[in-house]
Amino acid sequence: MPHESTPAPGTAATAPVFSPALTPEEGHTAATTLFREVFGTEPDGVWYAPGRVNIMGEHTDYNGGLALPIALPHRAHLALRRREDRTIRLVSPQTRETVDVLDLDAIGPKGTPGEVRHWNAYVAGVAWALEQDGLGPLTGFDAALYSCVPLGGGLSSSAALEASTCVALDEVCGLGLAGTAQEPDDAGRARLVRSCVRAENEMAGAPTGGMDQSASLRCHEGHALGLDCRTGETTQVPFDLAPAGLALLVIDTRAKHSLVDGQYGARRAACERSAKVLGVQLLADIDVNGLDHALARLAACGEDSAAELVMRTRHVVTEIDRTRRLIALLQEGRPLAGDTLAQVGALLNGSHDSLRDDYECTCPELDLAVEAARAAGAHGARMTGGGFGGSAIALVDADKVDEVARAVVAAYAEAGFTPPAFLNAVPSAPAGRLA
Ligand code: ADP
Ligand code: MG
C-alpha cells in the first residue's frame, strides 16, 4: 500500500513521501493476476473507479448545497467474473488474506441477520442495493480488488469500491446505465449513484451524502464536478491545472482523532435544528444576502445552543456562497493567474478558516498543514472532506510542489506529529472499464 514506505514517527522525516497512482496497465495487471491466482480462471474484465478530493463545498451536501469535487488518478481496480448462481466471492489482500463467500439472497442491511462485514459491505452491498432499487435481477460474481486510493484518508476509498462494482455489474449483467468513461451516460450514472449511496448508508452504516459516489461516477478529466447536492444536477467546471503551471497537492495528515466520534452527527443535528428554527427545509434555502438576518434570529431563539447554531449556519451559508463563486470564476475560463488565481486562493483560504472557526471540524494536524503550505507559497489551502483528520489540499505552482511538501513535513516534525503522506491530485476520468 502507498503508506508503507512512510517513515515511522520519530525517525528523520525530511523527504516528503508521495503515494503514486497505479497506471492503468499496472492496475489491470495487479487485479487480473490476483483474480487468476485466487479463482483459477480469467475475469470477464477489469473495471476501475477513482477516489476523489473536494475542491470546495464542505459539509454542504446534507444541507442541500453545492460541492466541487475532482476524480483522482488513484483508483480501485476490480477484476470481476459473472457467475451463473447467486454466490459472491471477494478478495482484497490489502486488508485480509481470506476469500469471503456471500449469498446475494441472504445479505441485508447493517443490524439485520444478513449484515455484511467490513469492506464486503461496499461491494456486495452495491449488488444488493441495485436489486433493491429495481435494477436487477443480477447474478453472483467473483471479484478481486486492488486499490491505490489511500484507505480512510478522506479521499473516498469506499466510494471507489462501490463505483467500480457498479460499473462492472452494469456491464456484465447488462443494466446498460453507465456508458463508458469516454462516453458516459450521465443520467444512467446518476441512478447508479443512488444505489451506491444506499449501499454505503444501509449496508455499511455510514450516513454520507452522495458527493463521493457522484465524483467517482460523474467527474470528467480536466474538470471539477459542480454538484447541486439537493437536485443531483451537475456542471462540468474546467479545472485543468497543468497548462496553468499549477498543481493541487493533497496532504494526508494521517491523523485519527477517536474522541470525535459522533461529531459528524452532532454537526448534522445542529444544521437540522437551525433549519427548523429558521423555518426552511434545508440551510441551502438561506440566501447569503439574508444571512445576517437569519443569524440574528438564531441568536435570539432562546435555546442553550443558540451560539452554536449561529456558527454552524454561518459556515454552511458562506461555504455554499464560496462554492458558487468559485464555480462562476472557473466557468469564466480566464487563465488561472494574477488576480483570478488570487481570488481562487482567497476562496480556498476562506473555506478553511470557516471550517476551523465556525464549524470547528479541523484539528491541529489539518491547521498546521494549511498554515505551513500557505507560508511556503501556496496560493490557497484548506482542509477537505469531513475533517477531524483526513486530508488538506494546497493549490501551488507546479514547480513548488516539492518545496511546499517539504515545508509541511518539517512543520510536522517540529510539532512531533506523525509524518504526513502526499499525493498529486490531477483531475481525472470517471469510473469505467480498462481495455
Ligand atoms: P475513505 O472512504 O475516506 O477512504 P471510509 O472509512 O469511508 O474512508 O472507507 C474506508 C473503508 O473502505 C475501509 O475501512 C475498508 O473497509 C474499505 N476499503 C477501501 N479500500 C479498500 C481496499 N483496497 N481493500 C479492502 N477494503 C477497502
Ligand atoms: Mg468513504
SS3 letters across 250-317: EEEEEEECHHHCCHHHHHHHHHHHHHHHHCCCCHHHCCHHHHHHHHHHHHCCCCCCHHHHHHHHHHHH
Angle separating helix axes 120-132 and 186-198, nearest 10 degrees:
120
Residue 4 maps to a domain = no
Above 70 in pLDDT, residue 3?
no
Q: In what order do the strands lie in the sheet with 87-91?
A: 100-103, 87-91, 141-147, 69-82, 45-54, 432-434
Domain span holding position 84: 17-238+428-433
Does 247 share its domain with 386? yes
Inside any domain, residue 85: yes
**pLDDT confidence of residue 259:** 52
Same domain membership, residue 286 and residue 181: no
Task: Report the CATH number that the domain containing residue 187 is assigned in CATH.
Answer: 3.30.230.10
Q: Quote the pLDDT of residue 13.
A: 53
Distance between Cα 264 and ligand 1 center (Å): 18
Number of separate domains in the chain: 2
| CB of 20 shorter than 6 A to ligand 1 | no
Instruction: Kindly compute the dihedral angle of the four CA atoms of residues 373, 377, 378, 380, in this order, to the nearest 10 degrees.
Output: 100
Q: Return the SS3 of 235.
A: strand
Same domain (yes/no): 98, 221: yes
326 and 289 together in one domain: yes
Are 23 and 68 in a shared domain?
yes
Tell me, yes or no, whether 161 and 273 share the same domain.
Answer: no
| In a domain? residue 8 | no
Has residue 276 been placed in a domain? yes
Same domain? For 179 and 222 the reply is: yes
Q: Each residue of 31-42: pLDDT tens digit?
A: 999 999 999 999
Q: Write down the pLDDT at residue 260.
A: 61
265/318 same-domain check: yes
Closest ligand relative to 197 C-alpha: 2
Nearest 5°: phi and psi at 432? -170, -165
Domain presence at residue 130: yes
pTM score above 0.85: yes
Ligand 2 centroid to Cα of residue 154, in Å, is 7
338/341 Cα distance (integer angstroms): 5
Q: Tell me the per-residue pLDDT of 251-299, one tens digit each, with 9 for 90 and over.
A: 999 997 665 668 888 999 999 999 999 999 999 999 999 999 999 999 9
Give pLDDT tens digits for 304-346.
999 999 999 999 999 999 999 999 999 998 999 999 999 999 9
String of b and e for 374-390 (b: at least 16 CB within 10 Å)?
bebebbbbbbbbbbbbb
Q: Are 211 and 61 in contact, with CB atoms under 8 Å apart?
A: yes
Q: How far is the CA of 148 from the centre of ligand 1 (A)?
A: 11
CA distances from 330 to 68, 237, 325, 340 (A): 11, 7, 9, 9
**pLDDT score of 258:** 60
Q: Considering the domain boundaries, does residue 341 fall inside one?
A: yes
Pair (213, 274) in one structural domain: no
Average pLDDT for 189-209: 94
Q: In terms of domains, do 132 and 261 share one? A: no
Which residue's C-alpha cell is 429558521?
278
CATH number at residue 350: 3.30.70.890
Residues 258 and 199 in one domain: no
Whether residue 321 is contained in a domain is answered as yes
Atom of ligand 1 nearest to the CA of 204: 16
Are 304 and 194 part of one and the same domain?
A: no
- Give domain status of residue 316, yes or no: yes
User: Is pLDDT of 2 > 70?
Assistant: no
Residues with CB under 5 A from ligand 2 (ion): 156, 158
